[in-house]
Structure 1
Amino acid sequence: MSDLAADGFNASALLTQLNDALKDDKIKQKALAQVKAVLAITLKNKEGKEQSWILDLKNEGNVKKVDSVPKTDVQLILKDADFVKLANGKANGQKLFMNGALKVKGNMMKATAIEGVFKSIDPRPKL
């Protein structure tokens, strides 16, 4: 169990996977170059519990679980299930936003970069 895991959050596995991928220097450099931002992801699970993670894709190139969200370039607020769909490419960030399922605080352009990061570490074969 990694220190990124949070009970009842399916996104934990994806965020752990992202953090593990960022340990590869090539992937880390690509993500830092693509995003150039510190993102906070605040998720709410089925039980109504909230948990936040910080994706530092500006300096450190890592993911941390936090209890309170510090100042970041952008904060994404959504349901755990929606985040999992977004990270897996089964949901569109714009559609989630338009439907009110995704709230963005801060730099909107930085928010759109996160989808590209998950695509670049996607272990599924590219068709």
Structure 2
Amino acid sequence: MSSLSEPGFEGTELLDFMKSVLDDDEKLRAKSIKQAKANVILTLKNKDKETKSWFFEFKNTGEVRKIDGTPPKADVALFMADKDFLKLVNNEANPQKLYMSGKLKIKGNLMKAVSLEKILRAADPRSKL
């Protein structure tokens, strides 16, 4: 398995855990695809102003991967600071408040973006402890 974490992006270590949960749990992956029915690009900016992107393929395969080069076609694109993503996945920030304050930018289908939050929470291995 290739790592999804990226040096200098604190929140991305959790993407590896979530990917392994989705890879190991076929029912969760199928539920995620059924729930989202969308392809999503997540772009994060770190404190050094570097950006990296990840692709969540939740129309057919339930795959999550880094984007190198030209991004694939997506239904939704999310843009946020790495520190805000870390707060979001740690339940320290509300996605609606991040969006309303301009810290989370969304291009595309807003309702599809909402479904991604549910998938991230369901795939978070820490919630199963």
Q: TM-score, normalised by structure 1?
A: 0.91
Q: What CA distance in whole angstroms lies between the structure 2 residues aligned with 1:52 and 1:8?
A: 13
| 1:3 to 1:60, Cα distance in 2 relative to 1, 3 A | same
SS in 2 for 1:22: helix
Q: What CA distance in whole angstroms lies between the structure 1 residues aligned with 2:103 and 2:28?
A: 29
| Counterpart selection for 1:94 from 93, 96, 106 | 96
Shift of 1:125: 4.6
Q: What CA distance in whole angstroms lies between the structure 2 residues aligned with 1:121 and 1:70?
A: 23
Query: Is 2:115 aligned against 1:119?
Result: no
**How many matched pairs?**
126
Shift of 1:121: 2.0
RMSD: 1.6
SS in 1 for 2:47: coil
- Residue 72 of structure 1 corresponds to 74
SS in 1 for 2:6: coil
Larger helix percent: 2
SS in 1 for 2:126: coil
Q: Structure 1, residues 26-50: CA drift from partner, whole Å, max 9, x if none?
A: 1101111111111000000011100
- Residue 21 of structure 1 corresponds to 21
Of stretches 113-122 and 31-40 in structure 1, the one that deviates more from structure 2 is 113-122
The AA in structure 1 aligned to 2:110 is M
Q: Is the 8 A contact 1:38 1:73 kept in 2?
A: yes
SS in 1 for 2:32: helix
In the alignment, structure 2 segments of 5+ residues that lack a partner are none
- Residue 46 of structure 1 corresponds to 47
Shift of 1:57: 1.2
Query: Is 2:61 aligned against 1:55?
Result: no
Q: What CA distance in whole angstroms lies between the structure 2 residues aligned with 1:122 and 1:6?
A: 18
Q: Is the 8 A contact 2:17 2:125 kept in 1?
A: no
Q: What CA distance in whole angstroms lies between the structure 2 residues aligned with 1:28 and 1:125?
A: 16
- Residue 5 of structure 1 corresponds to 5
Q: Is the 8 A contact 1:86 1:115 kept in 2?
A: no
Q: Structure 1, residues 75-118: CA drift from partner, whole Å, max 9, x if none?
A: 00000111111122221111001000000011100111111112
Q: TM-score, normalised by structure 2?
A: 0.90
Percent identical across equivalent pairs?
46
The ranges of structure 1 where at least 4 consecutive aligned residues each deviate by more than 4 angstroms after the TM superposition are none
